[in-house]
Structure 1
Amino acid sequence: MAQLDFNVEKIEPVILHGPDAVTQRDLMSPYVWKVHGQHPYALMVRAVPKMGEEGDTGTIWYATSKDGLTFTATDTPALVPGPAAEDAGGCEDPTVVALPDGGYVVYYTGVDAPHAHGELLYATGPSMDRLEKRGVAMASTPSQGNVKEATVDRTEQGGWRLFYEYAAHDASLVGLATAPGVAGPWHHDRQPFTPRSDAWDDFHLSTGPLLTDDKAQPVMFYNGATQDARWRIGWIAFDAEYRRVTDRCIEPLIAPPPSPSRMDTDIAFAASVVLEGERIWLYFSRADRALFRATIRRFSS
């Protein structure tokens, strides 16, 4: 396997235009992917009430862009809370899988309003304005609570893999599930990687997007944190079937700069990746309120 390294060349803010119902909220979880047409970049994003305001934990909006930096949202959200109890509190963390027939599977986190409990749900449809909720994609268990934050890939041999975040012993960790198809049913496989002692990712882990242009060595830009939840973005490489780790960063790739506001959380959180020629565009949120795009260079030896 090639030895890898990555560095960040620049970071730019992502701008979202649209109705006040999305632009006047804080923005998180920017899932960007390529589409055909005049606006070749699509975005699904979680919009949450600004800090201190009451309301749901998120609505999910669809937007498009010509340049991958400035997006325009539709007039109404793609997914809203309810009416079922499983997501009555909010819709979070969209992950989009485009199907060969032109349809979509959208994984998202549903929050139960009475208990603030998260569950990994999914919706399907021919377009983002015609999504139908399908229920639970992978249920939580007594040992793996609050299953959410899906990352999905199909391996060279045709099997489907779903990475997900779950809660155990007051920590966020990453699990891996397998399925015969993109919509499941998903079955827990194992824990694909673990926190590292005396490191920036020594307590919490969460899934991030996969760079899969080299199917023999896919790379995840994952999220890791210390016990006090100072989240940074790193990377980890796997073999073709996600059976073993082949390489992993030592230091974080992206950390948030010092914030002028004491109200801001110390968080950088990766959500999606787009490959544009030799350029790697990594989309992430900062302080759970604003969106950014990092341009990344890859090195291998």
Structure 2
Amino acid sequence: MANNRDDTNAILDTHTELDPSQHDNISHPPQSYTYYHAGPLFTLAELHTNTLLSQAIQRKSRGKFIPILPQDLEQRDLSPQSIRDEDLRALLACDLAMFTYDGAELDAGTVVEYMVSKMADIPAVILRSDFRGAGDQGGKGDSWNLMSSCWPRTVGISVDAMFEYKSSLSRSIGTEGNGTNPGENMVEEIAQKVLDGFERVLKEPPRLPKELRESVYHWLALMPGFKNGGDQQNAELLAKLCSDKQAKGLLTDHTGSHHIRKLRCVRRLAARVK
């Protein structure tokens, strides 16, 4: 199993390294973030779309948002639990996460990963590109099951993929597109929407209180019943992740000082009026 973990670490390293041409443009830490690119990964279309969209997100963000794809981590010679464990560890290690919520019924594994991300207070973007109506919210909310909606630190993005494709197709055959690929144009447009969602959700304050952070992450190390590593090793790993996220500002509420400055400004304006 040690070799398998080494292989996984090598893949993670590959995905957190940038193309040499991007080094001059990447934001300095802590303004670069890894994100877990979650969604169905069972068909050619799904695997291909995950790859193209994640590449577009990293490219358009100039390396600010670096994707970790579970389809690149999975090793088919592992047991089902080992595959699950590696995916959960990768999710918990990432700074943000994106979840593809397509289909008349949501992919069950993606929903589980989304809920784990909320337990860890990970900022998340949910992307739905399926133009078919779905869910149980009667058109008054999201196009997916109500129990997966209304969670903090989550930005939902709904895109009509067919409309986006037709728009890209019109541009590609006109003078504006100069014969560009409509599929690529569509992916670029959707990637920008995801980037905007990441930027929005990063501004939302964490929900996890300071006094509970270490305890919650300790429980997250025990809760899944990871097959390898043992409770002590997994607890140490999650404790380090918790510390790293706090150092990066992902579990630190910066809104307090902002509100204080805003209140002081209002008071000064009120004093001038008087």
TM-score (norm 1): 0.25
TM-score (norm 2): 0.27
Q: Which structure's residues are more often strand, by fraction?
A: 1
Q: Which structure's residues are more often helix, by fraction?
A: 2
